[in-house]
């Protein structure tokens, strides 16, 4: 798995950052993109480079097609290829459905679903040429249940769409040696949720505890590994039993 190139969206913080640092330790050249977290992204880049690795930190709004094509061209221009794409960017907000704005609805769709389509479309030609590729996207642990979600409706629909898009891409790209899979976390202590909120959720998790960033890193590493070469279109629940 060494000497490969990975592009990670949302790689400046949380799970994306954890994956970036882990893959850099394993010898991967790591490109992360960020929208607003420039300082955090540059810190990740400097950490990797200080340890002798290769890293890029690129500002990009992945909800925009033209920006995505520029991003992919920059990474391929620097290192010649992209072997793996990790779709880690996926913001959400809590708002009652009837208080949601058209702009807020569209933002959830663009950043959680459209971006994955754009990125897959942009990286697929190079992967198909090389007959190798790995695409991993992040879903939501209970999105496959299609439950009513009055306060995160748009985000939830987008995450259900991620699963459909994952399976569709997997079917279309399997013959080219490209696998496409999803990791669907439940409650992970990634720094994005207040500790008191996470503590309140423990009683709802069958395993009895909150997951951590390393749990997510290992799930991604499995899908990137040669051992998972025949696994595509899968959705791995990472939730300690919550949401199933």
Catalytic site residues? 156
Residue 175 and residue 39: Cα distance in Å, rounded?
40
Residue 118 and residue 52: Cα distance in Å, rounded?
31
Q: Tokens standing for 189?
A: 């202590």
3-state secondary structure of 55: strand
How would you write 155-211 as a 3-class SS string?
Answer: HHHHHHHHHHHHHHHHHHHHHHCEEEEEEEECCEECCCCCHHHHHHHHHHCCCCCCE
Give the side-chain half-sphere CA count within 13 A for 243: 22
Q: Is the dihedral of CA 1, 113, 125, 169 positive or negative?
A: positive
CB-CB contact of 153 with 205 (8 Å): no
Residue 141 and residue 103: Cα distance in Å, rounded?
26
Contacts of 42 (CB under 8 A, 6+ apart): 57
Contacts of 219 (CB under 8 A, 6+ apart): 183, 236, 238
Q: Tokens standing for 65?
A: 């097609």
Residue 87 and residue 180: Cα distance in Å, rounded?
11
């Amino acid at each position: 798995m060494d000497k490969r190139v990975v592009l990670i969206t949302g790689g400046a913080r949380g799970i994306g950052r954890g994956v970036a640092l882990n893959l850099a330790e394993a010898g991967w050249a790591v490109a992360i993109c960020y929208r607003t977290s420039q300082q955090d992204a540059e810190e990740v880049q400097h950490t990797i480079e200080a340890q002798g690795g290769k890293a890029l930190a690129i500002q990009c709004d992945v909800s925009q097609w033209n920006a995505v094509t520029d991003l992919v061209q920059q990474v391929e221009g620097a290192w010649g290829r992209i072997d793996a794409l990790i779709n880690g960017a996926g913001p959400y907000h809590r708002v009652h459905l009837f208080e949601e704005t058209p702009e807020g609805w569209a933002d959830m769709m663009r950043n959680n679903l459209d971006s994955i389509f754009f990125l897959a479309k942009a990286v697929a030609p190079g992967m198909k040429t090389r007959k190798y590729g790995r695409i991993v996207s992040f879903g939501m642990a209970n999105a496959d249940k299609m439950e009513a979600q009055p306060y995160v409706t748009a985000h939830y629909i987008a995450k259900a769409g991620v699963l459909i898009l994952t399976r569709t891409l997997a079917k279309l790209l399997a013959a080219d040696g490209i696998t496409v899979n999803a990791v669907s976390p439940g409650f992970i202590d990634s720094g994005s949720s207040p500790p008191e909120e996470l503590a309140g959720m423990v009683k709802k998790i069958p395993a009895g505890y909150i997951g951590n960033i390393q749990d997510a890193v290992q799930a991604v590493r499995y899908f990137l590994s040669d051992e998972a070469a025949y696994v595509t279109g899968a959705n791995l629940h990472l939730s300690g039993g919550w949401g199933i």
